[in-house]
Amino acid sequence: MSMDSTPAPISGAEISGAAPQRKWQPMNSIQRRIVGVLVEKAKTTPEQYPLTLNSLITGCNQKSNRDPQMNVDGERVETAIEELRRIGAVIELQSGGRVAKYKHCLYEWLGVDKVELAVVAELLLRGEQTVGELRGRAARMEPIADLNALKPVLQSLIQKGLVVELTPEGRGQVVAHALYRPQELDELKVRYRDAAVSSPDESEPAAGRTSSGKSSAIDELRAEVAELRAEVESLRAKVAQLLGP
């Protein structure tokens, strides 16, 4: 699979050991959808990248591999693109009177590598999800062999402040990107914290609960189902791309 924009070179600050200055900032829902689409198309259909305005609108409103579904028009997308250009996340390419096309600058803007960008893009396109779902979905953009291969990627993104853990580490863990507006992110954290408080205490025995051996087996099956579902979503997205809008 062809790759998109070349990752940014190592800066002098990184060589000297100084912490590089953070360039990224929170974005609204349309901005997040746009940059997610740009990364996705650059990685999965590089022959169609950079994207025209019409292609971006189609990608934003695409039915597969999107959550929530959107129905944005050209005016809203153009406004969001201009905002993204001002903060350095997107650039416009135009020459000789041709139709303007748009390209992301997220490698340098976020300070990530190819696999890290695929993970962030999948979270931007579909919101919070389990680590198992994320592995299957992000693997359509960059090779991620299994959950063990994803773990160090997630840890790096958490350290960079780009990913947050919504539930404790372990089977079925849910993670999200950190590019939400502060209020959105706070509400997301509260929702998962409240859900954890209202759920039964797993450390306490409960009547009718399966034995530990059966519970472990069920957890494993659930994880496998989540990964299979993610693989199906990936295949559906590829078929949709082949068939066109």
- What is the reported pTM? 0.76
Ordered alpha helix ranges (H), 67-211: 74-86, 106, 114-126, 131-138, 147-159, 182-198
What is the dihedral sign for C-alpha 58, 136, 24, 104?
negative
Query: Are 44 and 142 in contact, with CB atoms under 8 Å apart?
Result: no
Confidence of residue 238 (pLDDT cuts 50, 70, 90): low
CA proximity to 161, closest of 228, 98, 122, 116: 116
Q: Give me the pLDDT at residue 146, please.
A: 95
Confidence of residue 203 (pLDDT cuts 50, 70, 90): very low
Q: Give me the pLDDT at residue 130, please.
A: 96
Least confident of 81-90, 129-138, 209-218, 223-232: 209-218
pLDDT, mean of residues 91-95: 86
The pLDDT tens digits of the residues spanning 124-133 come to 999 999 999 9
pLDDT, mean of residues 48-77: 96
CA proximity to 230, closest of 129, 118, 115: 129
DSSP bridge pairs for 176: 164
Class of domain 12-110: mainly alpha
Coil/strand/helix, residue 245: coil
Q: Per DSSP, which regions of 26-89 are E strands?
A: 51-52
* pLDDT at residue 235 tops 80: no
- The 10 Å CB-count burial string (b at 16+, else e) for 149-180 is ebeebbebbeebebbbebbeeeeebbbbbbbb
The pLDDT tens digits of the residues spanning 128-147 come to 999 999 999 999 999 999 99
DSSP bridge pairs for 74: none
How many angstroms separate the CA atoms of 39 and 141, rounded?
Answer: 9
